[in-house]
Chain A
Amino acid sequence: MNGDVEELLRESMDRSTADMRVPADMLARARTRVRHRQLAVRAALACGTAAVTAAAVIIVAGVAAQPGTGGGTNAQTTAYVIKRVQNALAAANFVIQGQATGTMTVSVHGRRVTSSDGLTSSWSYGKRSRMVEFTGRDCGHYLPGSGYCTHRGGSELYLADGTAVLGGKLTGAYVTYYNHKYSLSPLGQDHLKPCSPTAQLVLGGPSVTMSNWPAFIKAMLGCDDATVTGHARIGGVETTVISGSVDVPLSKGYARSVREKRVRVRFTLYVDSATYLPVRAYGSTETYGGAAGPTVSAYVTNVRWLRPTAANIAKTLVTIPPGYTRVSSPAQQ
């Protein structure tokens, strides 16, 4: 037994790290950070104050919200950071790639049961977008209404949602791979009103899953729900953390069907402290106030900003595989 576990452990460690490589820009990032630190130390020595060191090392001068500095300072910090983020999002001309993983926790006879929600991969550029979902590991996705699994054993491409070019025209497209169906819709019908309950709910889901995602985030940051809560390093990048929480009433029909009344949406954006563009987004929703017991879904999306090359832009379009059957709406899929 002992030898078995040691051998399994070795094998597990080997397998889990088999595909790891050092990122190409790691050394350059390390050199930049060391240089910044050296500059900060020199500035502090020149001014003779420790305070300058602290501010300069953080690099984003004026952003550091320290505990005990008072609500006024934090409000100013939040306003400053959010303005910078909104400006960066407005000026950004990138293909955006998002990779989201999620979990869902449901209450089953008083027990909390958590399942993995599979991988969501998405691309967005201007009005174009493509989101693909892979099934979870254990049983694919629960099919609406029946509760059955699409399949068992391993993760598979499950659906694609976004835009396609058909007859030279950009149109909405929704493809389900497990039953070989697709539907088309005019563009813009899923336009969300900023700060509306529906838009708030979208913040609690995976990110980069829509056209004009930067414009959506820019608008949502103007809803006065977000505050700067600190700093974190994500994938070697210094980030400023912006968090918020909103409480949304469920629509009457939906509330009746899920036997809950309200949903609490939490979101956190990790924005690069140098460019102010988001590099990670976290969103969750939690139902409460009814008899069913809370259902919590949570997503972490890693966001990359890529140059708008032809190859990258091509990834923002859904393609319909040959032989698939067209149906009139996603509800029939």
Chain B
Amino acid sequence: MQDAQGPGELERLLAERGRDLMRTAALLTGSRQDGEDLLQAALERLLRRGRRLDNPAGYLRRTLYNLAADGWRRQGAWRRKLAIIGASDPAGEADAMAAVDLRDALMRALRTLPPQQRAVIVLRYWEQLSEAETAMMLGCSEGTVKSAASRGLQRMRELARSWQEPEGGPERGTKNGLATAIKLTEGRS
């Protein structure tokens, strides 16, 4: 198949910028595998374009954010099924080995944000774009960016606060629960 972008250009682009794009895609979707799917979907859009682009990397990046903000893959019923039993889709093997700490908790909280809020948070705090640049990237108003960033960050702060509370804080996920289970199990034995 002939690429409109010219022979070998996409290979070069992925060699130079692929890792950054992959990291962004994983942050936008919440997992490595979904990130791969998202980046592949963006690549397919680029391949389907009939004419050559001056800035294919910019196009890919914008497509990633727009697909993510549109709630790409929201329809995944099987994913919801996994969520019911608490088996979060892992971000790859490394995730299974990661230490449970506040950073983990923040990343988990990031995954729970609505797609547009998550896209805004990644653009503002990962790519470090201004509110105006973020609004331009997502094709929305600066006001929307401000409120999405504020709400998203508020959830992160609540999580951080509860994490720093002493035993019994409500948001510590499985960590406290597991500690309780260990105590109860040891008490019985």
Residue numbers of A with Cβ under 8 A of B are 1-2, 4-6, 8-17, 19-23, 26-27, 29-31, 33-35, 37, 99, 101-103, 105-106, 108-109, 111, 113-116, 118-119, 134, 137-139, 142, 145-149, 154-155, 230, 232-236, 241, 268, 282, 284, 296, 298-300
CA distance A19 to B99 in the complex (A): 16
Residue pair A9, B125 in contact (C-beta under 8 Å): yes
- Is the C-beta of B36 less than 8 angstroms from some C-beta in chain A? yes
Which residues of the other chain, B, contact A14 by a CB distance below 8 angstroms?
Answer: 126
Most chain B beta-carbon contacts within 10 A, residue among A118, A119, A146: A119
* Majority-rule SS of B interface residues: helix
Known: A22-B18, A241-B78, A284-B85. A16 touches B97 (CB 8 A): no
Which 9 A-B pairs rank lowest in CB-CB distance, beginning with the nearest? Answer: A22-B18, A17-B23, A147-B185, A12-B103, A30-B43, A147-B189, A113-B177, A119-B96, A34-B47
Residue pair A105, B86 in contact (C-beta under 8 Å): yes
Known: A5-B160, A9-B106, A296-B85. A34 touches B36 (CB 8 A): no
CA distance A192 to B22 in the complex (A): 42
Residue numbers of B with Cβ under 8 A of A are 1, 3, 10-11, 14, 18-19, 21-23, 26-27, 32-33, 35-37, 39-40, 43-44, 47-48, 73, 76-78, 81-82, 85-87, 89-91, 93-100, 102-104, 106-107, 110, 121-122, 125-126, 153, 156-157, 160-161, 174-175, 177-182, 184-186, 188-189
CA distance A111 to B174 in the complex (A): 12
Residue pair A139, B23 in contact (C-beta under 8 Å): no
What are 5 pairs between A and B in contact, CB < 8 Å?
Answer: A5-B160, A20-B19, A26-B39, A103-B87, A241-B78
Known: A20-B23, A108-B184, A232-B78. A8 touches B160 (CB 8 A): yes
Which residues of the other chain, B, contact A11 by a CB distance below 8 angstroms?
Answer: 103
Known: A31-B47, A236-B37. A282 touches B126 (CB 8 A): no
Residue pair A298, B87 in contact (C-beta under 8 Å): yes
CA distance A11 to B125 in the complex (A): 10
Q: How far is the CB of A291 from chain B (nearest CB, A)?
A: 15
Q: How far is the CB of B143 from chain A (nearest CB, A)?
A: 20
Residue pair A148, B160 in contact (C-beta under 8 Å): no
Known: A22-B18, A101-B90, A115-B181. A31 touches B1 (CB 8 A): yes
Q: How far is the CB of A247 from chain B (nearest CB, A)?
A: 17
Which residues of the other chain, B, contact A296 by a CB distance below 8 angstroms?
Answer: 85
Known: A115-B178, A116-B174. A12 touches B107 (CB 8 A): yes
Residue pair B87, A22 in contact (C-beta under 8 Å): no
CA distance A255 to B78 in the complex (A): 31
Least CB separation from A302: chain B residue: B33
Residue pair B22, A300 in contact (C-beta under 8 Å): no
Residue pair B77, A230 in contact (C-beta under 8 Å): yes
Known: A5-B160, A232-B76. A300 touches B126 (CB 8 A): no
Which residues of the other chain, A, contact B1 by a CB distance below 8 angstroms?
Answer: 31, 34-35
Residue pair B156, A26 in contact (C-beta under 8 Å): no
Least CB separation from B97: chain A residue: A155
Residue pair B22, A20 in contact (C-beta under 8 Å): yes
Which residues of the other chain, B, contact A148 by a CB distance below 8 angstroms?
Answer: 186, 189
Q: How far is the CB of A101 from chain B (nearest CB, A)?
A: 5
